[in-house]
Structures are given as structure tokens and as C-alpha cells.
Amino acid sequence: MRIVKLTKETRKDILENLLKRSPNSYGEFEGRVADIVAAVKERRDEALFDYTARFDHVELTKETIQVTEQEIAEAYEQVDPALLKVIRKALVNIRSYHEKQRRNSWFDSQPDGTILGQKITALAKVGVYVPGGKAVYPSSVLMNIVPARVAGVGQIIMTTPPGKDGKVNPSTLVAAREAGVDTVYKVGGAQAIAALAFGTESIPKVDKIVGPGNIYVALAKKAVYGHVSIDSIAGPSEIMVLADGTADPRFVAADLLSQAEHDEMASAILVTTSMELAQQVSRQVDEFTAALSRKEIIQKSLDHYGYILVADSLEDAVDTANEIASEHLELMTENPFEVMTKIKNAGAIFLGPYSSEPLGDYFAGPNHVLPTNGTAKFFSPLSVDDFIKKSSIVYYSKDALEAIHEDIIQFAKSEQLTAHANSIAVRFGKEVH
């Protein structure tokens, strides 16, 4: 891996390079995505089946687009029982963590005759998109479905592209059933997002779409936003390790590569105060990469978006971590809990040498659907809050309103909204024109 001395200039250059990975930088795909979305909106199932035949080489019909109970039963027979056991153990942790995020409606009553509150309502229908390209991710199935289920969503619909045999990957199906999905459809890409957003003869319209996908899926989610809600427009995966001279270089190198293997556009960055550690990690990365099964993908990721940054001080390292706002941030310092208090921007923070990023991906419980490409500065991990909506509750007695009605009338008049003022005035035998 390249070793770079950290300065204001190098940090700026790296940030500009990382931002090239944003889905917003791929405008040349937007026209194609817009055509697909428009076609599905207009021709519904007909367009859905046409695109599936063209892109996935599978002929679908209204009778075969939905995964059947028999197909799910077959999936259970095909999945390794040891994997099923692990999925169920992970589910306990994921469900337990998200149950702590539940929010309740609340009401606040005052002696003056006012009651104010907030009503929490789960979304009625949610669509979960699950990719099926270079790799299969049953862990993402769990992470997207469980918080929706915990929130109390009425209907959870999953779409995922079929293989050339017309079937869905067995581990994906098993994970979906274990997490509590209601219906699974064999369709992927931008056409699946459009179907969930607008509805077709086979697939119902949903209120919100969540889940990762390729650039076509990301841009389709962007295109339908406003017709439905979305979780985010996710970019490629990324990890940053912030370490001092106490860190184990083997641990650091292994963790950097855990994200670099996702795809060629993934980013892996070490920022450290130790040149010695930087050199050791660089050598260890080369050694690990040569032996790993996805070494071609890893190497391309490291060549384009991998960095080892050597900072003059821990303060400079922390400032860089906050500026880059990585999806995953590991703190491998002498006192990671103290450093953690200085971190403002990160999707998920992993503390100490035995809290590696894959622990969060699969098992610990917090959601692994995280803000990418610097959006951790203003976005949060997927949570139960993403699957609820809030309504304000307002009650005033006559006496409570009478005590402040002149204030409201004056405010409304200052905005020249006399009908607003009149709505209050008529309740007390007055009129405003």
C-alpha cells in the first residue's frame, strides 16, 4: 500500500479522490436508469419481465415471479445446517439490539388545559432490495428486515435478482424467512426499484425502499425518491483504521483487506502516528493479499483508493478521521475509549484490537447498513427509526386557547394571513378581515 505523509494538501487530494466513488458522480448512467423506471411505471409487469429476460436471462411470468413456499422449503434443505445455526444466533443479537431502539408515543398534559404529544406509527409496506451479483449477502438480508420487523411494519416485501436457473440463492431465502419477510419476488436491478416504487400487477407499491445495490439500483432509488421514501443512496464500502504504535500490524492489515475485497471501488485507509507501523502494515497487506481468494479485486481497490497516512500527532489523525467520515472506523490505540470521545463522524466505531469490522457485519447486533462516502457527517446507520413515522398531537381546551389567542392572531396578521387569524378569532366571537 502507498504510504503518504499527512498534510492539509494530501488530505484534500484524498478526499477529492474518494468523492469520485459517489453514485452522484455517475451521471452517464442516469439516462438509462430513467428509461427503465419510466418503462416499468408505464408498462408495469410487461416491462419488468422484459428487463429480467434482457439482463438476467430469465423468463418470468405472473405465476413464477413470486418465490413459493416449496422453493423456500427447498432452500432450507440446501443450506448448511451449521450456517443456519449461525444465522439464528446472529438474529438474536441483531433483534435484541434493535429492540432497544423502539420508540413509544408520548403525551404531555399541563394544568392549563393543553395536551401535546407525538404519535409513533410503523410504515405499512416496505420494500427490501437484496443484490445478487458478485457475492451473496444473507447478512444484509437480516440487517434490512429485522429493524422493519421490530418497528412493526405491516408488510415486508423483498426483491432480489434470480440466478440463470430462475431461482433465488438458498442462503438469501433462508435468511429472509428467518428474519420475518412476508413475500419475496425474483426481480432485481433498477426495474425492481421502479416496481416497488410504483407497483405493478404482481408487485405492490411500497412506502419505503431500503437495501444496497449496484450503481443502477442506487440511481433508481434516487430517481423514485419522493414517490416513496428511501434509506440512502449507498456508495462503495470503506474502512478507516486509526492506530498508534501499540497496534498489531497483522490485525490492521487484515481489517483493511476485509473491506477492500468487496469491490474495486472500496476504500481502505490507515491513519497512524507511527511510520514503523505504516511500513509493517504495508508489508503485511502485500503478504495477505497474495494468499487471498479475491486478490484481483483487493489489489484494484488498494491501487485506486487505498492509503496509509502518517500523521504528526494523534490530534491530526482524529481530525482526518472526522473529515473523511468513514463508513467503518476502527480505533486501535492505547486508549481507544478516550479517542472515541473525539470522533464526531463515522458510521460505526469499533474499539480495540478484538472488535474488528466483520464482527459488526455479521454478529454483534448493530446494523451494518451504514452511511458511506462522507455522509456519516449527517446520516446515521439503518435503524428502527427508518421504519416509523411520527405525527404531532395537539389539544387545547377553550380556556387554554383563550389565554393566548390574541398572540396567535397578531402573529398571523404579521404574515398577512388573515384567514389564519380569523380561524382563531371566530372561536371568541370576533372576526378578522
Residues labelled catalytic: 327-328
| Dihedral angle of Cα 44, 46, 48, 54, to the nearest 10 degrees | -150
**Residues sharing a CB contact under 8 Å with residue 77, sequence separation 6 or more, in sequence order:** none
At 169, which amino acid appears? N
Supply 60's cell numbers.
418470468
C-alpha cell, 427: 372561536
Q: Residue 99 in 3-state DSSP? A: helix
Of 253, 248, 238, 259, nearest to 287 by C-alpha is 253
The two most distant CA atoms of the chain are separated, in Å, by 85
Q: Which amino acid type is present at position 332?
A: M
- Radius of gyration over every alpha carbon of the chain, rounded to an integer in angstroms: 26
State how far the alpha carbon of 6 is from the alpha carbons of 11, 175, 177, 198, 301, in Å: 7, 43, 48, 48, 20
C-alpha cell at 125: 409496506
Torsion of CA 238, 240, 241, 242, to 10 degrees: -170
> Could you tell me the three cell numbers for 380?
446515521
**CA neighbor of 176 nearest in space, from 216, 148, 217:** 148
Query: First and final CA of the chain: distance in angstroms?
Result: 73
Cα 158 to Cα 160: distance, rounded to the nearest angstrom? 7
d(CA 177, CA 184): 9
- Strand-pairing partners, residue 310, are 5, 272
In whole angstroms, what separates CA 115 from the centre of its chain?
A: 36
